[in-house]
Structure 1
Amino acid sequence: MTHALPGYVCPEDATRADVRTAPWCCPLCGGPWDLDFTPDPASPLEPACGPNSLWRFASALPLPGAFSVTLSEGNTPLVPLAERVHAKLDFLMPTLSFKDRGAVMLAELARRLAPGRVVADSSGNAGTAVAAYCARAGLPCEVFVPEGTSEKKTEQMRAHGAAVRVVPGGREAAALAAREAADLPGVFYASHVFNPYFLHGTKTYVYEVWEELGGRLPEALVLPVGNGTLLLGAALAVQELARRGVRPPALVAVQAEAVSPLAAAFAAGAEDADPVEARPTLAEGIAIPAPPRARQILAAVRASGGTFLTVPDSALRAARRDLAGRGLFVEPTAAACWAAVGPQAPGDPLRGRTAVLPLCGAGLKSGPARPGPEPGPSTSENRQPDPTRSDELGR
């Protein structure tokens, strides 16, 4: 039986296109696609009855019919970090980052479209995830990365059989090179930014939080934001769950202080973000000077009643050491949310609300943070939360 694939729609000019024949971006404005897909809120949502992967939420996902690409991704645990704050350990995914959630969707979509090759661009984690899932799907893969990308990440891509193209310059240069390749015939652009199927994979992060908290969500979701793929996926899930009667949380977006175009636009009350200088920062995974989905990210945060926070590299280093002292070794970008709302953050950014934040990339991918000391034992004197108090986020 042939199942129709939901089509693309441009959020700016409403252009529509068939997924099987569409270019990788809107042909009128050059912007990223959205997906013409809304799950039926009356359809059963019973993840406990599904497979041991994010496909357990199949009724809320846009790829109908039987799937074949999976590495049992998803189902990552929630652990308490502080009173009323939990972390979701997405660095325990098959390729050690949350990007597996979107990559499995793109690989399954590409398998159905049967292109000659798959191309992607990445500063590391997305490319690694796409390489792994293309290997699982039996698809040839090519990943464009900026110079300076962690060798541990490029080694992982090559181990999965991907051809790695190191592009002189920064993240934007790698993206431009990949998009030139994507314009060639027979190429599927597995873009975690431009292809909306990726966002429908990352939304399972929130569906799992909902499942783990017994059918509810915390009062705030704290999310790192560069291109916004996790936040926009979270916003999709929040909207979809709200149609099922679930109270929506505020979205608290975190950016690196050195590269924070969205935070600046939010503070100025702007609907779009102006590009900023690509300055060095430890949080390379969210150092995006000109996010293509900036308007959508800003609108989603405002609609939720949320806000933007920024963190300097000194706070990232301290938060990473603190997490390591709690048994959680993550890469610098993954420490951004804890730096923004943890015990060392100034003031009370959460205002007493219950919250969940992601630890979305493993420390082994990047090694010690530099400049600064390697992660060591935590010196925090803050009370460790009681792991038996599973009701802390329900209050």
Structure 2
Amino acid sequence: MTALPDCFCPADGTRVPGGSLDWCCPVCRGPLDLDFAPTPASLKSLTGRVNSLWRYAECLPLSAPTVSLGEGRTPLVTLREGVSAKLDFLMPTLSFKDRGAVLLAELALRLRPRRVLADSSGNAGTAIAAYCARAALPCTVYVPGGTSPKKLEQIEAHGAQVRLVDGDREAAALAAREAADEPGTFYASHVHNPYFLHGTKTYVHELWEDLGGRLPDVLVVPVGNGTLLLGAALAVAELHGAGLIDRRPALYAVQAAAVAPLAHAWDEGADDLVGTTPTAPTSAEGIAVPRPPRARQILRAVRDSGGAFLTVTEDQIRHAQRDLASQGLYVESTGVACWAAVRDGVLGTRTAVVPLCGAGAKTGLARERASSGSDGSGPGPLTTAQP
């Protein structure tokens, strides 16, 4: 087995040896990054490779997959002139989380833990349960009590144990982290474990390949815990560092206005979360994260890219979901947030790609909610958080 790279804490520099079951920094308990700086292959050399995310082997910290379900290589379709959508809901478990989950399952196979734990609002838990089933690893998923019944059914169908936690998404995460400290436990955290980010970054490597060795002006990404955005930032840095792109796209992060702690921090010009941001119910449950552990990294990545934060109301989410359905794309409410943010032309003439991250069959149509700025007859105004 090839030696695993070490992890390190981006906050204080503490190092964790590769192959350890430690899931966080032993000093500050924060998330870890991976000491891994790959060089991507040229566009020409990708011809004829396996038609999954594993075609970007040079950029992945694990090789020779054994649990792959063919994840990745999702279609890119035009929504309107200048704006395309990547259909990441066409994954084995119907969400983009498969990109990171397959890396976590591969890592767990190498570490041989007694059990695997995860926490999730649904999609990450489903993906980890599926890949653990593929790897014949026992899995338990902690979820908040309000998780969609359809997502719970999918998790259980893969043989994982579901632990319902009273409270919100953060309560489920806290319960899982407490259990993760037990000996012999692999915490398959899509937030704390950096292998997950190195899986999600393949989203951008695929865009680069599909667009003939270039990237759009703007990458629009939904942000709760920020795993897709941080993965995108990794891929952009790799491609730019290798001289395979001559400019970096701006990263635009989208949050539901009901739960927007990062957009609030951005509006305040802060480098980290600011106090306690008021929250409200949202149909975009997948990004309803009041205190993302990687907040500082997310804010820095957006700022360094020349991007910004956008927020969308519940009415905008609902109307965007129906708009996409009218175009033949049935996407869950969290997954339509980016289209809700840009479909009215906020990006001007710049080219952009939005991810459609989860299938509508997972949650159904977003319920109508009252929201400021809309009388229910149409989308409310787009809110752009100012840096």
TM over 0.5: yes
**Equivalence for 1:93:** 91
Separation (CA, whole Å) in 2 of partners of 1:313 and 1:341: 15
1:311-350 pair list within 5 angstroms:
311-343=312-344, 348-350=345-347
Q: Which runs of 5+ in 2 are unaligned?
A: 371-376, 379-387
**Equivalence for 1:29:** 28
Instruction: Give yes or no for contact 2:21–2:111 (8 Å, CA) kept in 1.
Output: no
**Equivalence for 1:387:** none
* Aligned-residue offset at 1:191: 0.2
The amino acid that maps onto 1:186 is: G
1:138 aligns with 2:136: yes
Instruction: Give yes or no for contact 2:21–2:185 (8 Å, CA) kept in 1.
Output: no
* Aligned-residue offset at 1:248: 1.2
**Equivalence for 1:165:** 163
Q: Deviations over 1:108-129 (max 9, x none)?
A: 0001111111000000000000
Q: Deviations over 1:216-257 (max 9, x none)?
A: 100000000000000000000000000122121000110000
Percent of counterpart pairs with the same letter? Answer: 67
Instruction: Give yes or no for contact 1:44–1:59 (8 Å, CA) kept in 2.
Output: no
**Equivalence for 2:348:** 351
**Equivalence for 1:148:** 146
The equivalent position to 2:368 in structure 1, one of 344, 368, 371, is 371
TM-score w.r.t. the length of structure 2 is 0.92
The amino acid that maps onto 1:360 is: C
Q: Deviations over 1:297-335 (max 9, x none)?
A: 000001000000000101000101100001101100111
Separation (CA, whole Å) in 1 of partners of 2:304 and 2:47: 31
The equivalent position to 2:196 in structure 1, one of 180, 198, 207, is 198
Q: Deviations over 1:169-194 (max 9, x none)?
A: 11011001111111001110000000
**Equivalence for 1:297:** 298
1:165-244 pair list within 5 angstroms:
165-244=163-242
Mean Cα deviation higher: 151-160 or 269-278: 269-278
Separation (CA, whole Å) in 2 of partners of 1:39 and 1:136: 27
TM-score w.r.t. the length of structure 1 is 0.91
Q: Deviations over 1:337-383 (max 9, x none)?
A: 0110003xxxx42131000000000000001211369xxxxx99xxx
Mean Cα deviation higher: 241-250 or 146-155: 241-250
**Equivalence for 1:270:** 270
The equivalent position to 2:359 in structure 1, one of 352, 357, 362, is 362
Separation (CA, whole Å) in 2 of partners of 1:167 and 1:180: 13
Separation (CA, whole Å) in 2 of partners of 1:159 and 1:301: 37
Q: Which runs of 5+ in 1 are unaligned?
A: 374-378, 381-395
SS at match of 1:180: helix
* Aligned-residue offset at 1:42: 7.1
> In angstroms, what is the RMSD of aligned CA positions?
1.7
Q: Deviations over 1:199-222 (max 9, x none)?
A: 000000000000100111000000
Instruction: Give yes or no for contact 1:41–1:243 (8 Å, CA) kept in 2.
Output: no
> For this pair of structures, how many residues does the alignment match?
369
Q: Deviations over 1:34-82 (max 9, x none)?
A: 0000003578883333222111111111114x22110000010000001
1:5 aligns with 2:43: no
* Aligned-residue offset at 1:6: 1.0
